[in-house]
Structure 1
Amino acid sequence: MGFVPHPDRRPVLVAGASSGIGAATAEWLAGQGYPVALAARRVERLQALAEKIVADGGEAVAVPLDVTDEASVIDCVAKAQAAVGDLEIVVAGAGDLAVGLSYQTSPEAFADQINIHLNGAYRVYRAVIGGMIDRGRGDFVFIGSDVAIRPRPWSSAYVAAKSGIDGLVATIQLELEGTGVRAGVVRPGQTLTGMGMDLDPEVTENMLNDWIKHGLARHGNFLAPEHIAQAVAAMVTMPRGAHMRSVEVEAEGAVPKNKLAAKGQDR
């Protein structure tokens, strides 16, 4: 049995494209020639990025999206497809980060994290997957996290949500087998984005000390959002007949300067 080939034009929707991993992914894919719909709540940021992409020779449009609101998700998908065409690639990466000890986190705050990271990603998936199945092709990429494999203290709701993403993707992959549609998860390690940058300094210090105590912060290097964008690109550009089901991306530990100096590579 053959596969419906990728068309020459593969429109993309990136949910959570106003900053961080989502913005980097949108810009990276647009730079490779993909028409991209940028979606998030902060429309002014989307518009600025869309204008930059267009100025660089790409094709982009800004579309408002609140993943916690099903009507907003459905409207976003309709507007995106009207602007760039039937969606061939969708990246679900919208989210924010609220931290706290599990026994000090309110049920409402816990539920909010689940609603954004897990339910929100599912709403986007549910809104686009029918069209992909009908066309017999498409790539849906969930942005997960390595916390699903190595949970971190002070992040119980986030860990629960991202663990849920792993379970959701595993189930989806079984259900989509034979449809021609691929779904995968990219699990970033510690990445330098805007998410979590407005946390209380004392809370952040206590959290990091606990990470160190449990061996979860082995070095101070962070990934750049562009690293995750490249992982997403690798997943969706796989030729038909192959399926990259999951990718974990971790920051590389720095080589000590004395070793670099000894090899004449110190910069």
Structure 2
Amino acid sequence: MAFIPHPQRRPVLVAGASSGIGAATAEILSAAGYPVALAARRVDKLQELTDRITAAGGEAVAVPLDITDESSVLECVAKAQAALGDLEIVVSGAGDLAVGLSYEVSPADFAAQIDIHLVGAHRLYRAVVPGMIERGRGDYVFIGSDVVLHPRPWSSAYVAAKAGIDGLVATAQLELEGTGVRASVIRPGQVLTGMGMYLDQKTTELMLNDWIKHGLARHGNFLEPGHIAQAVTAIVTMPRGAHMRVVEVEAEGAIQRTERPEGEH
């Protein structure tokens, strides 16, 4: 059976679009001609990006979103679809980072990370996927993490939440098979974003030293948010009939340059 190609107009909702990976994804997709709804709590930041996109000739709208509040999620989806049309693509990357040793972090702080990264992603997934199933097409892209494969000390709640994302996606892929809807997860390595930049120097040093001790910081190179945005683009532009289920993106190690022998060019 032949698959009907993607429609010409594919509205996108990017959750967590006020900075980092989400902002880069919104900019790259809008530049490629996708109408984009930018969603996050920091509406002022969203509006700045929306203005840049529209000034460049793109189509974008800023929509408030608190991923921990179901009513906010439902209202966000409704506003995005009212402005742009039925959502064809959703990129779920809203979240922040709280660190601490697993035996010291409070239950409330642990639960908050699970709520933001895992339950929040499910809130949004549940709000948009039934409509995608009804239309027989759609892409839902979860931003996961390589900590699922390589857990890092001081990040137990974050690791647990991202491991949960992997479990959710694996289950969703089974349930969505044959519906025309594709669920995918991207597992980035270390990305240079604002997430976690508020940490105090002492905590950061202790954490990084533990990462080094366990071989989790082999080199100092970081990914740029745009690298992950390019992975998102690769997933959603894949022609129907194929499915990029899991994409891992890691920073490339620095090239080791050696001095060339005299006279060699």
How far, CA to CA, are the matches of 1:18 and 1:131 in structure 2? 25
Q: SS in structure 2 opposite 1:102?
A: coil
How far, CA to CA, are the matches of 1:54 and 1:174 in structure 2? 38
How far, CA to CA, are the matches of 2:159 and 2:241 in structure 1? 32
2:23 — aligned with what? 23
2:95 — aligned with what? 95
How far, CA to CA, are the matches of 2:12 and 2:97 in structure 1? 25
Q: How does 1:93-242 map to 2 (within 5 A)?
A: 93-242=93-242
Q: SS in structure 2 opposite 1:160?
A: helix
Structure 1 residues without counterparts, runs of 5 or longer: none
Seen in structure 2, the aligned counterparts of structure 1 residues 152 and 11 have a Cα distance that, compared at 3 Å, is same
Q: Which amino acid aligns with 2:67?
A: V
How far, CA to CA, are the matches of 2:200 and 2:156 in structure 1? 17
How far, CA to CA, are the matches of 1:122 and 1:4 in structure 2? 28
1:196-234 residue CA offsets vs partner (Å, 9 max, x unmatched): 001011000000000000000000000000000000000
How far, CA to CA, are the matches of 2:222 and 2:261 in structure 1? 23
Runs of 4+ in 1 over 2 A off after TM superposition: 1-5, 256-262
How far, CA to CA, are the matches of 1:233 and 1:260 in structure 2? 39
Shift of 1:151: 0.4
Contact 1:50 1:61 in 2 (8 A): yes
How far, CA to CA, are the matches of 1:126 and 1:189 in structure 2? 27
Shift of 1:260: 8.9
Identity of aligned residues (%): 77
1:30-79 residue CA offsets vs partner (Å, 9 max, x unmatched): 01000000000000000000000011111100000000000000000000
Q: SS in structure 1 opposite 2:103?
A: helix
How far, CA to CA, are the matches of 1:4 and 1:161 in structure 2? 35
1:88-142 residue CA offsets vs partner (Å, 9 max, x unmatched): 0000000000000000000000000000000000000000001100000000000
Shift of 1:244: 0.2
Q: SS in structure 2 opposite 1:154?
A: coil
Q: Which amino acid aligns with 2:210?
A: D
Q: How many residues align?
A: 264
How far, CA to CA, are the matches of 2:4 and 2:73 in structure 1? 27
How far, CA to CA, are the matches of 1:184 and 1:10 in structure 2? 17
Structure 2 residues without counterparts, runs of 5 or longer: none
How far, CA to CA, are the matches of 1:19 and 1:205 in structure 2? 25
State the TM-score, normalizing by the size of structure 1.
0.97
Seen in structure 2, the aligned counterparts of structure 1 residues 135 and 253 have a Cα distance that, compared at 3 Å, is same
How far, CA to CA, are the matches of 2:238 and 2:76 in structure 1? 27
Contact 1:4 1:180 in 2 (8 A): no
State the TM-score, normalizing by the size of structure 2.
0.97
